[in-house]
Amino acid sequence: MKVLKFGGTSVGSPERMEQLLPIIKSQASDKHLVVLSAVSGTTNALVNISEQYAKGDKEGAKESIDKLFATYKTFIKQLFKTEDGLQAGEEVINHHFSLLEGFSNDLFTSMEERIVLAQGELLSTTLFHFYLKEKGISSVLLAALDFMRIDEEQEPNLEYIKSQLEVELAKYPKETLFITQGYICRNAFGEIDNLRRGGSDYTASLIGAVLQVEEVQIWTDIDGFHNNDPRFVPNTKPIAELSFEEAAELAYFGAKILHPQSVFPAQRFNVPVRLLDTMDLKAPGTLISGNSQNDDQIVAIAAKDGITAIRINSSRMLLAYGFLRRVFEVFERYKTPIDMITTSEVAVSLTIDQTQYLDEIITELNYFGSVEVDSDLAIICIVGDFRNNKLGHATIVSEAVKHIPIRMISYGGSEHNISLLVPAKHKLEALRSLHNRLF
Ligand code: ADP
Ligand code: ASP
Ligand code: MG
């Protein structure tokens, strides 16, 4: 079995949906599970509608819903070629849009917000299912809300996902094509929730992991994982192979092509992930696996914005054992992950990207010593072979950014990563300068 995930642009128009048919048909002899994102632009529109509802701007929300509805009316007219198909499409969009409009008289909390956000993937998968039906291709639409679940810590409940998914699949022993929604799930309370923006990659990897599939294919709008962010840097190139560690590091530190958590499930169950281009079927893409390795090379660069650095100066306590544990416990209490950390004899600096509890964290850290906070920073992550016998790689990196102010450097944490913390306004220059020097 294989998992094929198609992102927002890959289902972004009726023509694009049509272009998925040969890809899906070419794998028809095998069982495969297709994970779809929302049609591109839809989740952003739904975020906007939720914000309008939450502000009490019901008229604004209604206007935005009407606008989105109009795009879907055009979409289905172009997608379906038969009366029956079009009627099915109309019923689908009428159902989801009347649900969206129905919130206007309700109290709008985060629970309603998550229901609104879920409509994008529910729309795309149901429309695609009926589109396949019109084309005479049999498929089973599986409801992700029946099997995809996160726990109280927002972590996927792998046992539940596996057992429920197996129950669902067993109901259709003869079918080979299954379709489900990316991104959406239920939480520990059974409410509709989601896996954060870009989460369809995570859905695909989780399904691939629990079912131990042959391969997870992430089909997107670019010919593979590039060695730098193509949105900001010219002349980036696709990378043929990445190890799980390299890909995880790049995704976690900002490479938008993959959801930050999406490599971990595949890595844990050793399921290869292939990145492929829906617009260029001949492109070899990128294979992420346990067998790939890029010896003696600097492989790629990524950047993550919105970083805050915290420095705790504590000449009295830093060398005392148990000090770092107590510092970390503060972050643990506020469920705030730490990304980078560096220490000296008198101070420790660390970075976070979730600042919801920053004030509370600072209040507690003040107990250990004086605390300084810098915001608007970016982590630049350089992934490559940085084993300590590879002389010179670190020097090339530091030389490339010698004109950029650096707030922190992390080296040696793993054998394949150097991270630099720079003011966000220097991010582009750092990415470009490193690119020119390294590739
Ligand atoms: P999808 O909708 O298919 O999930 P995304 O927009 O989430 O697609 O991810 C693909 C986009 O990620 C590319 O179009 C590209 O602009 C961006 N991107 C950022 N960093 C990289 C990278 N290192 N390699 C490839 N694409 C990247
Ligand atoms: N539709 C969701 C988003 O736009 C999930 C995804 O596309 O992966 O974030
Ligand atoms: Mg994406």
The residues facing 289 across adjacent strands are 243
56 is in an annotated binding site: no
Residue 386: its pLDDT value, please? 84
Determine the distance separating the centroid of ligand 2 and the alpha carbon of 197, expressed in angstroms: 5
Residue 316: its pLDDT value, please? 67
In a domain, 274, yes or no: no
Alpha helices in 199-318 (DSSP H): 200-210, 244-252, 263-268
If asked whether residues 28 and 159 sit together in one domain, one would say yes
CATH number at residue 316: 3.30.2130.10
Residues 107-137 have pLDDT tens digits of 899 999 999 999 999 999 999 999 999 999 9
Regarding the beta carbon of 254 and ligand 2, being less than 6 Å apart is answered no
Distance CA(16)–CA(9), nearest Å, equals 8
If asked whether residues 303 and 209 sit together in one domain, one would say no
φ, ψ for residue 409, nearest 5 deg:
-130, 135
Q: What's the rounded mean pLDDT across residues 140-149?
A: 98
Alpha helices in 135-272 (DSSP H): 158-170, 200-210, 244-252, 263-268
Alpha helices in 80-186 (DSSP H): 83-101, 110-134, 158-170
Quote the number of domains for the chain: 2
Residue 323: its pLDDT value, please? 84
How far from each other are the two terminal CA atoms of the chain, in whole angstroms? 37
In a domain, 44, yes or no: yes
Regarding the beta carbon of 254 and ligand 1, being less than 6 Å apart is answered no
Q: Of 221, 250, 285, which residue constitutes the final position of a domain?
A: 221
Band of residue 319 on the pLDDT scale cut at 50, 70, 90 = low
Nearest ligand atom owner, CA of 198: 2
If asked whether residues 217 and 302 sit together in one domain, one would say no
CATH number at residue 34: 3.40.1160.10
Residues 58-77 have pLDDT tens digits of 999 999 999 999 999 999 99
152: left (phi over 0), alpha (psi -120 to 50) or beta: alpha
In a domain, 350, yes or no: yes
State the residue range of the domain holding 102: 2-221
354: pLDDT strictly greater than 90: yes
- Give burial (CB, 10 Å; 0-12/13-18/19+) of 252: buried
Regarding the beta carbon of 8 and ligand 2, being less than 6 Å apart is answered yes
Q: Whose CA is nearest to atom 21 of ligand 1?
A: 229
If asked whether residues 49 and 165 sit together in one domain, one would say yes
In a domain, 172, yes or no: yes
If asked whether residues 431 and 305 sit together in one domain, one would say yes
Q: Whose CA is nearest to atom 8 of ligand 2?
A: 198
121 is in an annotated binding site: yes
Q: Of 191, 221, 251, which residue constitutes the final position of a domain?
A: 221
In a domain, 210, yes or no: yes
Band of residue 30 on the pLDDT scale cut at 50, 70, 90 = confident
Residue 390: its pLDDT value, please? 73
Q: Whose CA is nearest to atom 1 of ligand 1?
A: 7
Residues 282-315 have pLDDT tens digits of 999 999 999 887 888 899 999 999 999 999 998 6
If asked whether residues 211 and 346 sit together in one domain, one would say no
If asked whether residues 319 and 408 sit together in one domain, one would say yes
- Give burial (CB, 10 Å; 0-12/13-18/19+) of 70: exposed
In a domain, 33, yes or no: yes
Both structure tokens of 291 = 């067998």
Regarding the beta carbon of 183 and ligand 2, being less than 6 Å apart is answered yes
Amino acid at 403: H
Residue 321: its pLDDT value, please? 78
Regarding the beta carbon of 226 and ligand 1, being less than 6 Å apart is answered yes
If asked whether residues 216 and 335 sit together in one domain, one would say no
Residues 90-114 have pLDDT tens digits of 999 999 999 999 987 668 999 999 9
Alpha helices in 55-109 (DSSP H): 58-79, 83-101
If asked whether residues 73 and 212 sit together in one domain, one would say yes
In a domain, 366, yes or no: yes
Nearest ligand atom owner, CA of 275: 1
Pairing of strands 215-220, 2-6: parallel
Determine the distance separating the centroid of ligand 2 and the alpha carbon of 193, expressed in angstroms: 13
If asked whether residues 303 and 208 sit together in one domain, one would say no
If asked whether residues 107 and 195 sit together in one domain, one would say yes
Q: Please give the distance of CA 300 from its chain centroid, rounded to a whole number.
A: 18
Nearest ligand atom owner, CA of 286: 1
Length of the chain: 439
For residue 371, the tally of other CB atoms under 10 A from its CB is 17
Residues 390-404 have pLDDT tens digits of 778 888 899 999 999
208 is in an annotated binding site: no
- Geometric angle at alpha carbon 287, from 297 and 222, rounded to 5°: 95
**Any idea which of 86-90, 105-109, 431-435 has the lowest mean pLDDT?**
105-109
Q: Of 186, 201, 221, which residue constitutes the final position of a domain?
A: 221
Note the pTM of the prediction, 2 decimals: 0.94
Distance CA(55)–CA(366), nearest Å, equals 35
Q: How many helices (H) and strands (E) does the chain have?
A: 13, 16
Count of CA atoms in the C-beta half-sphere (13 A) of 421? 23
If asked whether residues 58 and 207 sit together in one domain, one would say yes
Query: Which atom of ligand 2 is the closest one to the Cα of 121?
Result: 1
Distance CA(146)–CA(249), nearest Å, equals 31
Determine the distance separating the centroid of ligand 2 and the alpha carbon of 37, expressed in angstroms: 6
**Any idea which of 87-96, 229-238, 267-276, 408-417 has the lowest mean pLDDT?**
408-417
Determine the distance separating the centroid of ligand 2 and the alpha carbon of 113, expressed in angstroms: 15
φ, ψ for residue 285, nearest 5 deg:
70, -155
Which residues neighbour 283 within 8 Å (Cβ) at sequence distance 6 or greater?
Answer: 223, 224, 238, 276, 277
Regarding the beta carbon of 156 and ligand 2, being less than 6 Å apart is answered no
φ, ψ for residue 114, nearest 5 deg:
-70, -30
The residues facing 382 across adjacent strands are 301, 418
Query: Which atom of ligand 2 is the closest one to the Cα of 199?
Result: 8
In a domain, 289, yes or no: no
